[in-house]
Amino acid sequence: MGHFQETAVLGINLDRKSTRSMGSQLCDQLRSLILSGRLRSGERLPSTRELAEDLGISRTLVLEAFEQLEAEGYVEGLHGSGSFVREGASLARRRAQTEAGSDGRAGAALARRRTFPPVARAAAAVDFRPGRPDLGLFPREAWARALAEASRSLPEAAFGYGDGAGLPELREEIAAFLFRSRGISAGPEDIFVTSGISQSLGMASRFLLHTASGARRAAVLENPCQPALSGLLAREGVSLFAANVDSEGLEPSSLPADRAALAFVTSSHQYPLGAVLSAPRRAALVEWARASDSYIFEDDFDGDFRYGGAPLQPLRELDPERVLYAGSFSKSFSPGLRLGYAIVPPRLRDEWRACRELADIHSCAFTQAAMASFLASGSYERHVARMRKVYAERRAVMLACLCGCFGENVEVMGAAAGLHVAVRFAGSSGGHAPRFEEAAVTRIASGGAIVYPASRYAFAPYAGIRSVLLLGYGHLNPGEIERGVAALAEGLGKGLEKT
C-alpha cells in the first residue's frame, strides 16, 4: 500500500507521511468540498463508520473531524439521522443578497475612544476586567535566557536599522507555528512583524481608507467591539458602519454594498460576546468583499485559548487575496512585549511596508530574535499549553460559581474560549432582567466586584446587550473568582435598575 489513502466515496486523499495528522487532513478536505460546492447545502455526509472503513483510519479520527466542522458551522448533526452540510456554507458564486435597508452608519462622535469611568470600589475589590492574562505566570527565566542568547548571536547589522517586515528567522517561525496550530498556509514572505493588532489595524486603515474616496472612506465594525479599535478608526476620520452581532457572529445584512473599503471581524471568537462566525456568514462576508472590491481585517486575538476542541480555521484561508489576518503574542505571552504579526495579501505588501517604515521602522530586533528562538525550541507552545490548562480551570471555576449563585437566571454566551465570559442575566421569579447602567455598576463595585457591561463596548445603539456582563477570569485565581461572583450576587440582590 502506498502512503496515500483514497476514499471512493468523496475522492479524499490522505497522506500518511504528511506532518499533518490524518484527522486534520480529513477535516481540511471535507471543508474544501463544502466550500467548493461539491458537497451541496443539505447533503448528507457519509457515516463516520463508512468513512473510517473506506479510508482505513480509526472512527475516532473521523468523529473528531466531524466535530470540528460542526464547531466551525459547516455541518450540523441531526440525532439519529447523521451529519448534513449547512445551508449557505458554500463559497460558490451566489446571487448578491445584500439588502438595502438602513445604512447602519454610526457617526464618528459615537466611536470616540471610550474610557471606563472610575467607580467607588470596596477595598480589595475583585476586578473582572476582560482580556487580562496572568502576568505572574510569565516564564521570566526562560525568556531572559532567550534574550541573552539573542544579544550574543545577532549579527552586527541587526544592531542598526532593519527590515520593516521583520527578522527573516522570526517570520519563518511564525509561518511554521501558524501552520501547526491553525492550518494556515502562508510563507515567510506573506508575514509582517508588528507591534500588535492595533498597529496592524492603524496601518491598514491609513492605506486602505485614506486613499478611498467619498462614501468608500468607511469601515464596517462589529457592534459591540473593542472600544480602542472603534476609537482608533474614528480618530483617523473614518466613517463607521455598525454590524450587530448575534449567536452566529456578524450579521451579513449589515454590510453596505460598495460603501466601505474595509470590514473588521473577530471570526473565531467575537470580542466581546464570544460568538463564532458561522460558515454561511463567512461565505457571505467573503462574497461581499469580492463583490464590493473591499478587504476583510481578521483579528485572531486569542486563538491559542480554545477549550472545546482544536482552534478554528481562520477566515483568511477562504480568500487569502481579500483577508488581512492579524495576531499577536499579547494574550498568549505578554502585552508588554508589543509583538504581533500580520499576513498581508500580495496586492497590499508594498503599501504596508512603506507605511510601517514611516511609523516606527521596525520592531525591536532583540525581542524578535528571542521570540524566534522561543518558537523554534518549542518553549512557546509549551507555555501556551500550560496557560491553556490554567485558564480552562479558571473558566470552570467561574461557570461553577455563576451557576451556584444564579442558577437558570444566567446564560453563558459564545464559545468556550478566551480569557473572559459574556453572561446574560434574566429576571428571577418572573421579574425583569437587570440593566447594567453606571449606577448599578457603582453599587456592585461598592460591594467588592468591578464589572463591565457589554453596553460599554457598543459604539452604536444595541438594546440586545443591556443585560450582558463581561467577566474576565484570566488574571484571577480561583479564590478571587469565587469572592468576586459572590459580591456580584450580593449586588444584584440589592436591586438594580429595571427595564
Quick: pLDDT tens for 107-117: 444 444 345 55
The answer to whether residues 171 and 129 belong to one domain is: no
Position 253 scores a pLDDT of: 87
Specify the higher pLDDT residue, 120 or 25. Answer: 25
Range of the domain at 466: 111-136+382-493
Quick: pLDDT tens for 181-204: 888 989 999 999 999 988 888 888
CA 197, 220, 275, 318 torsion-angle sign: negative
Kindly state the cell numbers that stand for 370. Answer: 528571542
The answer to whether residues 150 and 288 belong to one domain is: yes
Kindly state the cell numbers that stand for 290. Answer: 469580492
The answer to whether residues 167 and 293 belong to one domain is: yes
Tell me, yes or no, whether 100 lies in a domain.
Answer: no
> 230: domain CATH number?
3.40.640.10
State the number of CA atoms in the 13 A half-sphere of 486 facing the CB.
Answer: 7
* pLDDT-based confidence at residue 497 (cuts at 50, 70, 90): very low
Mean pLDDT of all residues in 75-82:
80
Position 494 scores a pLDDT of: 52
Position 448 scores a pLDDT of: 93
The answer to whether residues 470 and 454 belong to one domain is: yes
Tell me, yes or no, whether 18 lies in a domain.
Answer: yes
Quick: pLDDT tens for 428-449: 544 567 788 788 888 899 889 9
Position 115 scores a pLDDT of: 52
3-state DSSP helix/strand/coil percent for the chain, to nearest 5? 45, 15, 40
The answer to whether residues 320 and 450 belong to one domain is: no
The answer to whether residues 421 and 302 belong to one domain is: no
- Of 231-245, 257-271, 285-299, 338-352, the least confident: 231-245
Specify the higher pLDDT residue, 60 or 206. Answer: 60
Tell me, yes or no, whether 90 lies in a domain.
Answer: no
Q: What is the pTM of this model?
A: 0.79
The answer to whether residues 327 and 361 belong to one domain is: yes
Amino acid at 238: V
Position 361 scores a pLDDT of: 77
Tell me, yes or no, whether 10 lies in a domain.
Answer: yes
Position 235 scores a pLDDT of: 79
* pLDDT-based confidence at residue 137 (cuts at 50, 70, 90): very high
Mean pLDDT of all residues in 469-490:
95
Position 430 scores a pLDDT of: 47
Please check whether residue 56 is in contact with residue 74, taking contact to mean a CB–CB distance below 8 angstroms: no
Collapsed DSSP state (helix, strand, coil) of residue 132: coil
The answer to whether residues 29 and 122 belong to one domain is: no
The answer to whether residues 289 and 149 belong to one domain is: yes
Number of domains in the chain: 3
The answer to whether residues 178 and 189 belong to one domain is: yes
Position 432 scores a pLDDT of: 65
Position 162 scores a pLDDT of: 76
φ/ψ (deg, to 5) at 75: -130, 165
Tell me, yes or no, whether 373 lies in a domain.
Answer: yes
pLDDT at 104 over 50: no
> 392: domain CATH number?
3.90.1150.10
Give start and end residues of each alpha helix (H) in 73-188.
Answer: 140-153, 168-182
Tell me, yes or no, whether 93 lies in a domain.
Answer: no
Mean pLDDT of all residues in 92-99:
43
